Chains A and B, each alone.
Chain A
Amino acid sequence: MRNDADTLTALFLQFAILSFFAVGGGGSAVPEMHRQTVEIAQWLTDRQFSELFAIAQAAPGPNIMFVALLGHFIAGVPGAVVATVAMCGPSCVLAYAVSQVVERFRAARWRIAIQAGLVPVTIGLLAASALIIARAADHDWGGFAITAGTFAFVYWTSLSPLLAFAVAALLGLSGFA
């Protein structure tokens, strides 16, 4: 764990910049978080990244709080706070500023075009997130089976995804994955 000023500054800048590129929600920032923290800075391993991501998904609270867990792993308690503020602060200020303006142009052609144009980008980014997490998590047929089963459960039923998470945890405990 490195909670020196350099690491905290790097963490802040990375996540603050990232918050502006998280198109359509926090989930689309996962590929870039992985690239920055695992591939470039090598602050944690592929496996640690996917396990922390899974903990954040299973815990209550906004899913974006994955950044707090990631920040904590990299730089302790200051890291958790810095990562959260960096990920949420700048985009909140932008949201407020834009909300004052854009509301009036709800039916404008350019606004509808921007919104429609961002949808396929968001879908591509979510698919990339899925690939990165699956690649780190699924080392064997057990892992693939859990991924496929959870997909089917979430996609075809309206039951809480937490049920699938509970079953997956039990299967993992019994050595299935």
Chain B
Amino acid sequence: MSKPNSTPSAVSAAERDASAAGPAAAAPRPSITDLFLAFAGVSLSGFGGVLAWARRMLVENKRWMTAREFNNLLALCQFLPGPNIVNLCAVFGVRMRGIPGALACLLGLLGPSVVLMIAAGVLYRRFGTLPELHGVLSGLAAAAAGMIIATALKMAEPLIRFRLGPQHAVALATFLTVGVLRLSLPLVLLVVVPVSIGFAWLRSYEK
């Protein structure tokens, strides 16, 4: 472990040095094949979302990243649009081995999964109307709905503790326009996102 840094500027300077010299973690830089195989493993073991598995592989098993590097990269990917874990995998791959590295990581993460999905799709087309399978799928779909409600509520927890404010209005307006009124998502976001960021900007002055 590196020595603790006292000021934010010291932290970022240390991290710039670390990223210039390659990964700060102890392990040697992985090859293209290493990257592909490691992410293929993550993809196939990642039941119920792959984020936890990716972290385990990158930080704990292979030590290609430190815990702090992982958190920073994840925060960046959550800040950007698109599937977080896929973005994370691409940026990590570029940092390790350039564009070929990114392609190896993406192919590892997505390739086995695409094959699996095609197999599932073929089975669904052939047997999807069998009453037994229909029952199983109805059960799974009802469970999936419950799981998203739980995820949404877990994310909303910090918001719930706040006193009622513009953030609540933004979340509610997004839900109603997209979920109930079924308006076009790009259209809604073009209005809602600048408003929400504006409120967050004003809030940052209150503290």
Residues in A lying within 8 Å of B, measured CB to CB:
1, 17-27, 29, 31-32, 35, 39, 48, 50-65, 68-69, 72-73, 77, 80-81, 84, 87-88, 90-92, 94-96, 98-99, 102-104, 106-107, 109-134, 136-139, 142-144, 146-155, 160-162, 164-165, 167-177
B205 CB → nearest A CB, Å:
9
Secondary structure at the A interface, as helix, strand, loop or mixed, is helix
Is the pair A60, B102 in contact by a Cβ cutoff of 8 Å? no
Chain B neighbourhood of A52, CB < 8 A: 121, 124
Chain A neighbourhood of B8, CB < 8 A: 107
Chain A neighbourhood of B174, CB < 8 A: 120-121, 123-125, 128
27 contacts between A and B (CB under 8 A): A23-B193, A25-B83, A31-B182, A59-B117, A60-B113, A61-B46, A61-B113, A62-B49, A63-B83, A65-B116, A68-B121, A95-B90, A120-B168, A121-B174, A126-B152, A128-B174, A129-B148, A130-B149, A137-B138, A137-B141, A150-B142, A150-B146, A150-B147, A164-B146, A172-B137, A176-B135, A177-B135
Give complex CA distance A107, B12 in Å: 10
B204 CB → nearest A CB, Å:
5
Apart from A20-B81, A29-B185, A164-B147: 14 A-B pairs, beta carbons within 8 A: A21-B185, A22-B82, A32-B186, A54-B137, A59-B117, A60-B116, A62-B113, A68-B121, A80-B117, A96-B102, A120-B171, A124-B192, A168-B143, A172-B139
B121 nearest in chain A by CB position = A72
Give complex CA distance A57, B142 in Å: 12
Q: Ordered nearest first, which 8 A-B pairs have the shortest CB separation?
A: A172-B139, A91-B82, A124-B174, A128-B179, A150-B146, A61-B113, A117-B197, A168-B143
Interface size on B, residues (CB 8 A): 96
Chain B neighbourhood of A173, CB < 8 A: 132, 135-136, 139
B50 nearest in chain A by CB position = A62
Is the pair A62, B200 in contact by a Cβ cutoff of 8 Å? no
Chain B neighbourhood of A35, CB < 8 A: 182, 184-185
Is the pair B91, A96 in contact by a Cβ cutoff of 8 Å? yes
Also in contact, A21 and B81, with CB within 8 A (given A60-B44, A68-B114): yes
Determine which of A57, A84, A118 lies in contact with B110 in the assembled complex, contact meaning CB atoms within 8 Å. A84
B79 CB → nearest A CB, Å:
5
A150 nearest in chain B by CB position = B146
Give complex CA distance A167, B109 in Å: 28
B35 at the A/B interface (Cβ < 8 Å)? no
Chain A neighbourhood of B171, CB < 8 A: 120-121, 123-124, 127
Q: Which of A56, A148, A154 has the most CB of B within 10 A?
A: A154
Also in contact, A120 and B144, with CB within 8 A (given A60-B45, A91-B80, A137-B138): no
Is the pair B141, A92 in contact by a Cβ cutoff of 8 Å? no
Is the pair A72, B143 in contact by a Cβ cutoff of 8 Å? no
A99 nearest in chain B by CB position = B91
Give complex CA distance A144, B39 in Å: 37
Q: Which of B94, B102, B140 has the most CB of A within 10 A?
A: B140
Chain A neighbourhood of B142, CB < 8 A: 134, 137-138, 142-144, 146-147, 150, 168, 172, 177
Chain A neighbourhood of B125, CB < 8 A: 1, 73
Chain B neighbourhood of A59, CB < 8 A: 47, 113, 116-117, 120
Is the pair B151, A96 in contact by a Cβ cutoff of 8 Å? no
Also in contact, A54 and B50, with CB within 8 A (given A116-B203, A124-B173): no
